[in-house]
Structure formats: structure tokens, C-alpha cells
Structure 1
Amino acid sequence: MVSSKLENEPTGKKLPRIEIRMLSFDLVERVEIARLLTDAGYSVRNELAANFDRFESRVTDDDWDVIFVDARVPYDSVSRALDLVRAIGSDVPVFALVDSHQENQADLMELGIADLFTSDDLQRLPGIITRGLEASDDRKIAIEARRLQNEIEFAGDERAVLAEIGRLVSSSPDIGQVYDQLVEQVKILIPLETAAIAVADVASDSVTIEYLSGRELPGFDRGRVMAMSGFTSINQLPQFVFVFDTELMEQMRTEFPGIRELLNAGVRSIMVAPLVHRDEVVGFFATGTSTENAYEPEHVAAVEQIAAQISGALANSRLHIHISRIARERETLIQIGRDAAAARDLQSLYGSVFKNLKNLLPVDRGVIALLKGEDGKSLAIEYVEGLDIEGLRVGDNLELLESSTAVLTGSQPVTVDNAANREPFDLTDGKLITAGLPSTMRTPLRARDSIVGLIAVSARDDRAFTQDHLSALERVSIQISPVIESFSLLNQVQSLAAAVETTLDLFAITDLQGVTSYLNPAGIRLIGLEEGASGVGVDLKDFMSPEQAETVSSIGFAQASETGGWQTEISITPRNSERPIPVELLLVPVRNPSGGPGREVTTVNVFMRDLRDREALQVERREFVLTVSHELQTPLTSMKMYADMLGEGDAGELTDQQQRLVNNLKSTVDRLSRMVDDLNAVSLLEAGRFNLRTERFDLDDLVISAIEISEPAFADRGMRARMVQPGAAVTVNADRERTLQVMVNLLNNAAKYAEADTETVVTVSVIGSEVKVEVANKGPGIAEEDLQAVFESFYRSETARVSRIPGSGLGLSIARGFVEAQGGKIWAESTLGEGSTFIFTLPLATG
């Protein structure tokens, strides 16, 4: 049954009211007919009869202004209905709905039907009914008399109930405080065993059951949130009172699971009244009873007036609560801001946050956790308020799995967990649920568009949090995130400042020209400024040679800006001193933190490490090595000469055993001589005290010579070496002897470390303006972290130490020194268990 009053005239004058009886119409058509008449200015009450027996009882008992028959049913059913109307002597006009191609339209008109309509020409209906009503003054008087009679029936009780309801809703700014008394008054006029009031939120398209009295109904518990669109899909005209009588509910049982559950619970009649305030649906008032077909037209009229009174009060109550919440939230945020400004550390800030949060939302437990590590794969719990839970205490870490990172990186600013649906957002592996905290709400802590952690609150009520609570927590997060970041940065700055002030090395902040805005005490001492000097406005290039200053200005700052840093070794001369100091220089650019276009470099952090101690040690070591090498050279030469003389029989003929001993002596002397030569070479390289004799020569011939020299070392282990011939002769302009030593060292290295009975391959190729030489062997390989270290002097790999492979650890260091001295590069590539390739380049000869 649908009932509605639409008052189109601004004076509020009541419009004509008509009663409609329909037989066998579906819901959509019934609603459409009611809408057409309502739009035409009539106050309509209509009722659907799903079968002939119900139609017969209502037509006999009631007076009706208009009867509609669905004539698309068999002709006998329509004829039977018309016979019943005529039998009771009613002259009510009868209209019928037919299909446009229906063949029995003429027969239907002979039954006394006033007019036939199709679904496409229902627009004619209001005009025809209007003409019929205007043609009979007596009928108008009868309609008006019936309306007055219906209004008088409940007048006494209705006035008293409505007056009391008006008093109740005006007695408190929060209508929720008088819901119980209000429902008791409604019971005087309307039969009900259950009553519910639902509040609508148009913005979120949701309806929340705020109040429920009487018997419990499945799926309609207090606090339940439903989609408003889904709620109103049953009620196609949400501004009409909607009555679900028993037959209609049975018809809807299959399509609507909620109706089926109500029927199974024993509910047989439901009436739902929309609560409309200023043309906006603010909620719904619903009643239910186990009595079949309990709601009559007078009940519909009464609930319309009750709903009108509740609607305004509910809207005003929502507004009052909303304003109060905003005011309370604003006061809380202001207090949090004050406490943040006065906080001495993060712990006092966290305590203040949760103390104030309790004024806005239920908090049985609160947590603040910050992202840990550069990869951001875990959260470290920094603060806990409330319930103590093992595994979720201060200092514990929460691992962020791929599925759970959505709590921080998802598009939603906040997420809510409850007992029924906590995946994939539960970071605690169910610990909160087990501890009796089924509701959890959290929001990320963001600082400068980066997520730094989260703040979370939990409650014992499984429906503790609303959308307003979510918004409040997010605002708190926005307010405290910058403060948390500021404290973190302050701690970092304090630690850095302490390190900078106490370091023995120079640290400065300069502009792009190298002029300081800060210089630490160690730096002031290093460059020889007066004691107590500020170190501001000092041009660090003034302490460099002109050539080095130009290199730093033209290359250093540019490369630092492009690559994020630039490092080299230079010398600086302190003020009032003539002795330069070797330093290691590091330039680190600092970019504009605002993230503007290009992220321009604004300042440069300059680090200088005093290398005098290192230089002194290196000089001492080089001098020692040179001295030892020189002292060993003479006796080794004598020993070699004597061994050769003995081997040649100058001291008499040798037995076979004596010959073997002499050969061993000669081999040992040769090995010691090579070691001394290597020590000399390393010392000269490090000191820069050697000369290159550059000449043009064919590199492939040199490689063949190196293979021949190294052949005995390969033969001892059943190995061989070969060269992949280049397509044409490759000529380089280099020091032949130094390059030959590089090749021999690389080949000897392969002979030592490659697997026995394998082959070492030397490949020569031309790449642009360079010659590339590769020496590849099959051996145990070199770990990636050792690929650079193998070129350091005296370096011995783990494989060499474990396998007791002889060697001084100087061969590769010498090779690197000679290659780089000639403008080339050298490096190693390796795969563990497969072998290594040593590669060097030299400039290709031109002209």
C-alpha cells in the first residue's frame, strides 16, 4: 500500500483525495499510476489486491473512487471482477490496462470499462479522472466527506499523541535521548512489536540503524550500516510510506534475502516511513508486527504525521551533534598543538596525543609505530597506551608483508579493521582480536609526502568506530606528523653536530663557489685560521694550488651535482705556511628540499681528511721496501752467478743428486729475484718515480711472447694458453717492457689459480679508440666483493690462503699501476665456480 500527500500550492491547502483499488498489478506499474495522479495534484491512497479473493473483500467493505483492472489476464477473470462491482451496485469508474495489440479490447469495453490504457499512454489517466470527478458535484462532496470522516476517526488520540511527540522531540537537542518515549507514544496509534530508526548519510550513501526496540530481528541489529541505494531499491518512491503486507512480503521472499529472513523470524507486516527534511531524506522510521496485514490506511496517515515531526528533530539533532563534535575536535586539536609545542621529547608528545584522543573516540589501546630501516619493510613500535599485549610492546617490530603494505601505501587514507574482516590489514597476526580488541582504526603518519609510520587505536566494542572517528584520527595524524619528523630530524642534527664538532677532520658547508657558511673547529685548525675565528666567508679554493682550484671549480662541483658526490686527493697549504698538506676531498651536494623544478643544488657539504699520517706511513714503507730490495739485489746476483758456475761445472763435475740441488738453488734464486723486482716496481709506482719508454709495437706479437714466457708455469699443471688472433694487426703506442710485464703477470696469475688441465684464452680486440685485452681462465672464480681488492698490494684471496698457493700478492697491483700509468683501465669479471676474466685497455696508436 502506498500513501502520499503532495501539496503543490504554497498556501498548504489540501488537494482532492481519491481512493484507488488495483487488481493484479506489479509493483512498478502501481507506483507509476500513483505518481502520475500525485503529480496531477491529487492526494492518493491506493491498494494492491494480489488475488481475486482479496479484491472481493476490499471492494465489498470499502468505498472506492476508481478501480483499475489488469486486463492482460484472461478475459473470464476481468469479467468476474466487473460482475462483482456491478453486483454491489457500485458506479465507481473502472479502468483497465491492456497491451496495444490485444485483440479483445472491444469485448472489454462491452463489460462496462470506462477506458482502456496501455503502458505507453498512461499519461492520459489524470485528465480523464479529473473530468470524471468534475462532472459530478455529488461525488466531490462524497469524496470530501469521506476524507473528513477518516480524519475524525483518529482525531482525539492522534492530536494527543502528536502533541506529546512534539513535546518530546523539542525537549532535548539530542533526539536519541527520547527514542524510547517516542516509540511508546507511537504504539497508541500503530500496532507494532518492533520499531527502528535509521539515520541516512547521503554523502556516503549509507544508512545506519541508530535505534532498535522490541523483539530482535535478524540482520537489523543496532549500529549496522547498509548502503542507502540498496535500502531504497525496495522502496521505489522513497518519499512515500511503504507498507509490506503479508502477501507482498511473500512475493518478495525470493528476490530479497532480508525480507525472507524477516518472514522466517515471524514478521508478517512492515511499514517504513521516510524521514524527509527540506526535500532530503535524513532517515527512516520502521515498524513491524507478527500480525498479518496489520496496517490500514489510518495507520499510514498517522505515521506520515509522526515522520514529519521526527524528521525535523532528527535533522536538528544531527546538526547539533555535528557542531558539538566539530567544536570538541577543534578544542582537542588545539590542545594537541599546544602540547606538541611544549613537548620535550617524542614520548611526552605521544602521551599527550592519546590523552586528548580519548575526548574524541573510544580508546582501549593506542599505538604509534614508525617505519624502520631504509627498505621500510617493518614498523618499530615507539609508544603503547592502554592494554599490554605480548609481542606488541614498545621496541617490538611488525613485519610488513607485500599483502599488508596496503595499510600504508593504499589509496585510502585510513582503514578500519573489525573481527569479521581484518585481512589483509591485520599486522598483528590476530593478537588484537585474541586480546578482546575486535575494532582497530589507523591512519598513516605522513611527512612531506612520505609515509613515516602509523597511529592506531583499538576498542573492545566490535562496532566502536564511525566515519567521524576516522576523520578525527586522520586530522590528528596530519597535525602530529610534522612534529614527529621535526623531533627525529632534531635528534639526527644533534648527533651530527656532536660528531662534526669533535671530528679531527674538516667539515664545511659552502656555496657553489666554495665559500663557507660553516666551518668546524678541526677545519679552522687545519687551514691555519686564528683561534676563535668564525670560519664563515672563507673561500676554500684559496688554500689550493691554482691548478687544483680550477679542477675543483670546473669539474668537482659539476660532477658532484650530477652524480651525488665527487672525491679526489689534493694538497692544501694552510695560511702562514709553505708546506702543503695532503688531504682527501669529498664534495656532497645539498638539494632544494622543496622539490621544485630540477631540485637545484643550494649548498655543498665539503669533507677533507688529513692524509699526513697515511703519507708518512707510506713513505716509510716505500723507503723500507726500496732499501731491502737494494740490499737483497747484490747477494742474489752473487748467488745466481755462483749457482750458474756450479751448474756449468766450473767447480768440477757434479753428480746427478748435486745437479738437482743446484737446479733447485737456481729456481729459488730466480723466484727471489722476481719478488725483489716486484717490490721495487710497487715502490716506484706508489712513489711515482719511474719513467715510461713509449714506442709503437704490435700488441699481438707481444701477447705471443708473453705466452711463451709463461709456458713453463702452465706446463707444470698440465695447462696451456692460447691467443684468439685479431682480424688485423693491432698497434699500440706504449711502453713495451711494462706492457709485457702486465701480460706475464696476468698469465702467471691464471696459471696459479685456474683448474688443472684447462685452457687460458687471451683475446685482443679493438673497441673504438682503445685496444681491449682479455685473459680468461676456468677456475674457482672470485667473489663479487673481492673484485676490486685483488688489485691491492699484498692482497691474498681466501682461495690462495686456503689452498696455500704461493705468491707475493703484488702481480696484479703492478699490472694495474703500469696500465693506468699508460692511460688505460684494468678490471676483473668473475662467476664463482666457473672462472675469471682479467681485462685491460690501452689507447690505440694513431697516425
Structure 2
Amino acid sequence: MVSADPSDFDTVRFQALLLDSVGQAVIATDVGGLVIYWNSAAERLYGWPAQEAIGRSIVELTPAPQSLEEATLIFAELAAGRTWEGEFVVRHRDGRAFPVHVTDTPVLGDDGTLRAIIGISSDITERKRAEQAARHLSAIVESSSDAIIGAALDGAIVSWNGGAERLFGYAASEVIGQHVRILAPSEAIAEEIAANVRRVALGQRIESLETVRRHKDGSPLDVALTLSPVYRPDGSMGGFSAIMRDDSVRQRGERALKQRADLLVSRLAKEAKASERLRELDRIKDDLVATVSHELRTPLTSIMGFVELLKEEQAGPLTAQQRTWADTIGRNGDRLLTLVDNLLAASTLDAGKMQAGSSRVDLRDVITAARRTLQPSIDQRHLTTRFHLPPTSILVQGDASQLEQVVCNLVSNALKFTEDGGTVECALAVEGSQARLTVSDDGIGIPDDEQAELFTRFFRSTTATDRAIQGTGLGLSIASSIVRSHGGAISVVSAPGRGTKVMVDLPMAGPRALRRQRRRTPAHGPAGSSEADRHVRLTAAAPDRPVA
């Protein structure tokens, strides 16, 4: 501890202790550049002990790539009695280069001549990294084709990228400081903007809102809008960001497509005088779904690929907020891909074009593969999920990928319609000459009067729609078609509030396989009854965290 009273110490010793207590490197040199003082912070920063540094040239101890001209200018400033400060890259004793901020102060004699130089330096590596990351992020924002707007909590615009200039026609200088209401084409939209600002101020995020904004020339623009709170380093909210994409082409296309589809349906309905006409209408609809699904899948796959590149930080390090955004894009992209795949599968099945492979398939492998696919969904839920598999093979003749889709659809439904704290089970067993797959849950169940419609395409039970549970109504329809194409049968037993059990029966492959299955250990034996059983049983309970 350095005393605050210099009278307690020899003056020189006090000054040395005082300088050693400074957190920054303090180095003194004579006018020839030889070190005459080197404090402990300098030892830590440059790696040279004081006893080795004193008496040596500062250029040798902290080499920096300065030009002779620059060094001459610095010396001239100091000789004139003026302090100099700046930044340059130096080297540690171990050869490692790093940036420092240096303040050089001249020590003048009574005659005004330069007698010594005191330099104070600090490592600015972290600051430089932060500046580089900020410049990189700024370049990304500025080069984005989307309009990216920053605003304060009161709605005043504070940043306006090139995408915003191109989309709305305003230069940044025209809108900085203006309220975001400048983009409202009507009073109703102005009220919507004010309501959105209030929601974001409460920490809410608004995603993919289809709305209308105004161009500088007064024309309306259809946009897709995402609003997100922006937080300061101390965790307080500093404002919000708005990302807007010109959605005019897509929305016009959707309207045109809907108009054409409505016109087609109207004409066909008027002309339909027999069941053949109705089947033709259904075929046209399937073709439309398949075409649109194919067209959607290509850009979606590209989007998901670029999301993975972002998450792998191929474009540079991500902040926690940016990683959250990338994860959100990835999750919603996966949902869209699943929807497109289901639409394609339904269309292919209805057209009779799905080709099923014909090989011996071990249903244990099928369920294991499905479980791996579903594991991210399982981990997001607060459920107990169990998979019961027998220790020996259960062989059927069929297509492994299609059968895996059946398992995925059934277990995914069970996860979706079971509330947190519930249980979902998937079991495999032999019933006579049939392999039986059972997926059961203790979820919300299905009303009796709706169960006959469960395998109808796009059917959704009232328990799902009332609770706003997302889905397309295609999962069971696709599963049923695949099971039937394999010579099997599917059935459902359910009761509201008590859960649902779905059973799939498939013919086993050949008599020898059947005899082998009848000698197996029961699939529902107690946990730990055999080494194999311990390996195939899974209980997954998500940790106590909110579902993303």
C-alpha cells in the first residue's frame, strides 16, 4: 500500500512506488532512447523485467514499425515541449505483435531543452477487435439489400442504411431524427407503428409482419417487417431495429395466384356435373401444391445453408443477439421445409408416384433413426419421452426412409399434442405375424366424433385449432398412405384429456424372421432387464428453461 503522504518516504522511492501502482505501463527514456525507468506494468505488458530493460534502447525492447520520418516528427513535437499521443503496433518479448495507445510527455530542463521522455502505454487489443467487429457489422448492414433502420425508444430514427435509401427513396440525411411515422401511408398505419413501438419498448419482438409503408413519392409499399429491441452493454434497452423487405412482388404474386386459383375453382365447380370433374379439380389442386412446394424448397434450402454459414461464423464472430436471430431463422426455416416436404409427400402419394423400395428393413433401425431426427424437438419440451425396442431384429419388407417418416410423423404429433409434464412413448413388438409399432401419449386427446376424419388430408381436430397448435393436417394422412402401401394397417384410440394411442401393424418379412422374433425378449420388459434394453431405452426430460 503506497502512503498518501510523501513525507513518510524518500522522494525517489515514493515516486517509484507511486508509478508502480499505476495500471498502465510507464517507461522513461533519455533523449537517446535508452530506458532509465521501467515500471511493473511495463514488465507485464512487454515481457521484459526492469533489471533487463533499464539501460537498453526502447526501440530494441518495444520494436514498432515506425518510419524514420514519423519518428522524427514525434521527436520534434516532444523537443518543442508538446505531448504526443497515438497508436501503433509493438512486439512483446516473445515476438507477439499487439496494438498499444501511447502518450509521450517531454521532460524539459531549466534551459528548455529536452532532457527525458516519459511514455505511458496501454494494450488496446480488445478495443481494436471491438472496433473491427463493429466496422464489419456496419459493412454488413450497409451492404444489405433489406432496409435496416435503427430507432430510439421514442421512435426517432438514428440510423438508415443503403437498403432503406433504395427502398423508400429518402437519403439518410432526410430522415435521421425524424419519427418512424414518416413512413406511414395512412393514419391507421401510423397507429399501427405507434402500437408496435410500444410493444418493442416492452421487450417484445415482432417477426415477419406483412404491412404497408410509404415511399418518398407517396406510393404505398408492401413490406415484410421485423422489429427487435436493441440493448446496451449494461443490459438496458437503448432502442429498436426495424428490418423491412420489399414484399410487393410476392404479395402481388400471391394475390394473382389466388385470383387465378379462385377463378379456376369457380369455373371447374360450375362445369363439374359428375365425380370425374371433382377428381379433376382435386388433381389440379395437387399439381398446384406440388409446383409451389418445389419452387419454395430451392430458396428455402439456400436460406438454411447461409444460416448455417452464419452460425459457423464464416462471415465473422456473432454477438449473442445475432446468434439468437440466426437460430430463429433456422427454426422457422426448418418449419417451412417440413411443411414443403409434407405437401410434396402428400401430392406424390395422391398422384400414385411415390416409389417404395423393397428390401428387408429392421424396424429397430428405423425407430432409432427417427429418434435422432426428432431429438432437437424432444429437447425443447418438458416431457418424458421413452422408446422401447426389443433386443433382436424385427424385419419387414419395405422402404426404410418411408417407414422412418411414419415414425417421425406419429411421434411428432404426440409431442405436439402433449402438454409439458406429460409422457410420450414409442414401442415396438410382435403381434402374431405382424410387427406392431405403438406411439402413445397422455396429451389432450381427440373428440370421438372427429376420429373418423383423422386420416383425411388437411383435417385438423378442434382440440388443435382451439389451442392454436400449429400443423398442416397432413402427418397422419401421409403415414396412413405409406402404411397401406406396405400392406399394413393403422388405427387410433383416443379420448379427450386422456391422450392418444396410434397403432401400426406391418407384415413381417418371411417365416424365418417370424420365428426369430417369437424367441425375442418382450419389448416392454423392465428397464435394465438386459444389456441391449439398457442401450435402447431413452428417457428425455428437457431442462428447466423456456421453450424457444
TM bucket, shorter chain: 0.3 to 0.5
TM-score (norm 2): 0.42
- Higher RCO (CA < 8 A, seq sep 6+): 2
Bigger radius of gyration: 1
